[in-house]
Amino acid sequence: MISDVLIAGGAMTPFNRRKDGSSFRDWARAAVFKALEDAGLEAADIDTLIVASESDFFTLQLNPAALLADECGMIGVAAKRVEGGGASGHVAVHAGVAEVASGMSRRVMVLGVEPSASHLKGVDVGALYGLSFDAWTDGMTGIDSTSLYALSAQAFMARTGATTNDFAAIAVANRAHARANPNAHLPLDISLQDVETSPVVASPYRRLDCSPLSDGAAAIILGRKQDLPSTARCRARFRAVSNSVDTVRLGERRDPGCFHGKHVAAQRAYTAAELSPVDIGLAEVYDSYSGAQLQALEALGLGSDEIINAARDGVFAADGALPVNLSGGLLGQGAPVGATGVAQVLTAALQLEGRYFGLQAGHAPRFALVDTHGGIATLNAVSILEAP
């Protein structure tokens, strides 16, 4: 059963732009070895390695799972690579949960890694991200991801009354949360005015509304209590996992501002967990853009039916009823794509265990929700975790 699967240990590297000549192999080793230490295990104890990496263009490495198994001293393990756009890391976690829950593996290492920032020029990365949608109708026409997110945000604003000030408040808050996170890429002390006077990228989004391109790696180890050392037996566990896709082309959606696929994934997760949104006490959501955080929270059913009022009332603040993105999210912590979802799950688990290295919630939540997506909330992954 999924509820038998524990997050036995984990670690992440700093998310940033690497200028020291290191490579994704170095970051992967660092995350893997620290995760093994956290779980009290050795490389030989791992049955399966699941690697999340969005694009071969970033690593310049076909078959990265075999390479990274070799690099990390895991000769003989079963290995596979999982990809789901921006949700790659989180989908890889789901694959690991399935391995353990099914009994196919006793202990699974999930490793997410991506050199998103240092290997290619930003304009080339942007062109590649355009292929995350329908390459024929979107990517090859020259439209970029920010423009598509902006169109979706405009539809959301028209329906809900959200303003650019609401978006800027999220950019400010998440960067402030990141200041307590030693692994964060953009731990900034900025104001609403700083956001609203930063250069326009695609209206309504300005530069400070956008998450950065980042390098980094994150790893977690999954297993059942009986298969783990005593030190790793009292850790957060999975209550439910779910995945759902929406139409790929934004213009074919009934409401381009609504993340319907994410809503479906969340409802499936709540049903499987036998919980409702009011039970969630902490969330790490996919804030690739400031407005996308509000769109995600609405689709996940968190806060209230009046999502804008909930945000303005401080429900999602660090000291609010439902703290969101205490890590800094993608906006503050950063976004090396393959590692992002893995780091989100690790963050939520450590928060529930009271071991988090950054900003802690003002209360002790029992349940946390993790949300990630690829495309414009096209491929959606949701996990619900439970405290030990």
Asked if residue 185 lies in contact with residue 212, where contact means CB atoms within 8 angstroms, the answer is yes
Q: How much is the pLDDT for 104?
A: 97
The answer for residues whose C-beta is within 8 angstroms of residue 133's C-beta and 6 or more apart is 139, 145, 148, 248, 249, 250, 375, 376, 378
pLDDT, tens only, 34-61:
999 999 999 999 999 999 999 998 999 9
Amino acid at 379: L
Q: Is residue 139 scored above 80 in pLDDT?
A: no
Phi, psi of 11 (to 5 degrees): -165, 160
What percent of the chain has pLDDT above 70? Answer: 100
Q: How much is the pLDDT for 153?
A: 98
Ordered alpha helix ranges (H), 41-121: 56-59, 64-71, 88-101
Asked if residue 33 lies in contact with residue 72, where contact means CB atoms within 8 angstroms, the answer is yes
pLDDT band at 119 (very low <50, low <70, confident <90, very high): confident
Pull the structure tokens for residue 232: 């790793």
Mean pLDDT of the chain: 96
Q: What gap in Å lies between CA 296 and CA 108, rounded to an integer?
A: 29
pLDDT band at 89 (very low <50, low <70, confident <90, very high): very high
pLDDT band at 309 (very low <50, low <70, confident <90, very high): very high
pLDDT band at 123 (very low <50, low <70, confident <90, very high): confident
Topology of domain 2-120+213-232 in CATH is Peroxisomal Thiolase; Chain A, domain 1 (3.40.47)
230 vs 129 pLDDT, higher one:
230
3 state DSSP class of 342: helix
Residue boundaries of the structural domains of the chain: 2-120+213-232
363 vs 112 pLDDT, higher one:
112
pTM for this structure?
0.97
pLDDT band at 93 (very low <50, low <70, confident <90, very high): very high
